Structure 1
Amino acid sequence: MIRFKYTITLLLSSAILLICSCKKSEDVTPNFNESNLAPFSVEFDNIIGDRTLTLNNTATPYTNAAGEKFTVSMLQYFISNIKVATADGKEYTVKQDSSYFLIRSSDKATRFAKVRVPEGDYTRLTFTLGVDSLRSTMGIDKRTGVLDPSADHDTGGMYWGWNSGYIFFRFEGNSSVISDDVNGDPTGKKQFKYHIGGFGGYSAPTINNIKIINIDLTTAGIAKVRKDRQSNVHLFVDAMKVFNGPNSFSIAAHPNVMFSDYSVSVAKNLTAMFRHDHTEN
């Protein structure tokens, strides 16, 4: 009997040690050392309301809150300055030179922003929608890759040469509600165009449409970043919020918004586009 009790006690002790050991291996406190970096990605999955975004879908157009039917021909935007944070507030900022991405709906390969961050458990993700003022004013040699103005024809026109600034968010399509005399397109298409940019100017205050996006990961799954696997935060990006956000508007009333005062109202809607769906660890 004593031997049986001893055996049970030994088994229970071993089980407890095993559980503690497993928990210890799962809970990793970030060591913010560059030698401790592991793969981490953010996936930007573009949608329209409750539907997948499909370009030039004339068979089944989308309908906004104003009841206007429309199709989408282009959606692309800059993501930059990615940061992650732990539950106790420790924050890691991805090196800036590795933290600029152009998400293009026409190229599914661009939907992932892949970076490296220290191993750890992260409960918050932060990034910029747009290009920060510091990088926007740096020399051309510091603006390479997707930020290279000379390669702008390859990236779908995300740079205003006349304004020396980036278009943070570009959204275009067609809708029959647009007046014939709005843009005089020779093909007869009734196009809407929303080119949102503006970083605050150089010295005098100007339009500033840079937006910081904060994503709470605690509800749909924290990011458990480890060297031996890929942690991916899956976000839905709802372009319907362009029209149906806090500052809702109709296509007919504002078919073209670029570097104008109204762009500030449209930019405020953009912060509502991003929703955390799940995290893959």
Structure 2
Amino acid sequence: MKKILLLTFALAALISCKSDDNQAAPGEVNLVFKNQVAGNDLILSSQTYTNASGDSYRVNELKYIISDIVLIGANGQEFVVPQSESYFVVNEADNGSKTLSIPDVDGRKYNKIRFGFGVDQSNYPLNGVNNFIPTAEETGMLWSWSAGYKFIKFEGEYDTDTTTDAPFIIHVGSHGTTLDNYKTIELDLATDFTVNDNTSNINLIFDVARIFDAGLQNFSLQEKDDIQVDPVYAPIIASNISTAFSAE
């Protein structure tokens, strides 16, 4: 009899927890991307920044691909955004692209987010994600001469002791099976939030300075200012970028 009562209580508790977790109505979550340089808003073209290597640089263009978005609940449950709706190009010059709206998110409490930087090679060529391929092409995030995506398009000018306005180009992606620069990024949210039938915002900071100075391996434009299909420098940039995001 005692065992039966304990089992009854356990089942009741389990049902109660499950009910509590799912009692909130679905809602919308906006991911708001804020591109900054060491805590200050990124300003294209007119603002000069200095990295740890002493390069003075200006950013004319910044775009990157965000994919495979997952919201993680306080109890470990995950809300996986469907693949067909989970690929975006964030473009600093287009304010509309910096807010990603996710509808019909399961109603529960969340405390973490996980997403991809770039496109996972296992998902090439993104069959069933036909809406993203034109977007990537229109925004210049596809290599026309090679099957693959530019995970980041980062361009501008920099100054040296002998040269001013020297151009730099950083385009990082994955190529074939030997150069995989896709990164999975998981962040603790600044505060837990509960999705219900209203709209919640998550602010995600991307610190451009960490492209150069991530504490993993500092990088100077004077070493190389044109990085595209590069087996040496592209992985350094991708690893630095994996540390550049934070949740506010």
**2:176 equivalent to 1:207:** no
**2:78 equivalent to 1:91:** yes
Whole-angstrom distance in 2 between the partners of 1:159 and 1:270: 19
User: TM-score with structure 2 length normalisation?
Assistant: 0.85
Listed one character per residue, the Cα deviations across residues 89-140 of structure 1 (whole Å, up to 9, x for unaligned) are 111211110111110000011101111310111011000011122432245x
CA separation of 1:147 and 1:178: change in aligned 2, threshold 3 A: farther
CA separation of 1:248 and 1:30: change in aligned 2, threshold 3 A: farther
Aligned counterpart in structure 1 of residue 153 of structure 2, from 166, 170, 191: 170
Q: 1:236 matched to which residue of 2? A: 205
Aligned counterpart in structure 1 of residue 133 of structure 2, from 147, 150, 166: 147
Higher relative contact order (CA 8 A, sep 6+): 2
Identity of aligned residues (%): 29
**2:26 equivalent to 1:37:** yes
Judge conservation of contact 1:174–1:189 (CA < 8 Å) in 2: yes
Q: 1:49 matched to which residue of 2? A: 38
Instruction: Give the aligned residue type for 1:87.
Output: A
Whole-angstrom distance in 2 between the partners of 1:179 and 1:270: 29
Instruction: Give the aligned residue type for 2:48.
Output: P
Whole-angstrom distance in 2 between the partners of 1:130 and 1:179: 35
- SS state at 2:191 partner: coil
Aligned residues: 228
Asked which structure has the greater CA Rg, the reply is 1
Q: 1:100 matched to which residue of 2? A: 87
CA separation of 1:127 and 1:28: change in aligned 2, threshold 3 A: farther
Listed one character per residue, the Cα deviations across residues 14-37 of structure 1 (whole Å, up to 9, x for unaligned) are xxxxxxxxxxxxx951479xxx53
Shift of 1:276: 1.1
Gaps of 5+ in 1: 1-26, 181-187
**2:121 equivalent to 1:133:** yes
Aligned counterpart in structure 1 of residue 143 of structure 2, from 160, 169, 173: 160
Judge conservation of contact 2:121–2:180 (CA < 8 Å) in 1: no
Judge conservation of contact 1:223–1:233 (CA < 8 Å) in 2: no
Listed one character per residue, the Cα deviations across residues 170-229 of structure 1 (whole Å, up to 9, x for unaligned) are 11110022987xxxxxxx941111100006x2xxx3100000010111xx21232111x1
- SS state at 1:265 partner: helix
Aligned counterpart in structure 2 of residue 263 of structure 1, from 211, 214, 234: 234
Equivalent residues in 2 for 1:216-231, closer than 5 Å: 216-217=188-189, 220-227=190-197, 229-231=198-200
Q: Which structure has greater strand proportion?
A: 2
Whole-angstrom distance in 1 between the partners of 2:153 and 2:238: 11
Whole-angstrom distance in 2 between the partners of 1:138 and 1:221: 33
Whole-angstrom distance in 1 between the partners of 2:171 and 2:72: 31
Shift of 1:257: 1.0
Shift of 1:53: 0.5
CA separation of 1:247 and 1:225: change in aligned 2, threshold 3 A: same
Whole-angstrom distance in 2 between the partners of 1:178 and 1:135: 45
Judge conservation of contact 2:212–2:220 (CA < 8 Å) in 1: yes
CA RMSD of aligned residues (A): 2.3
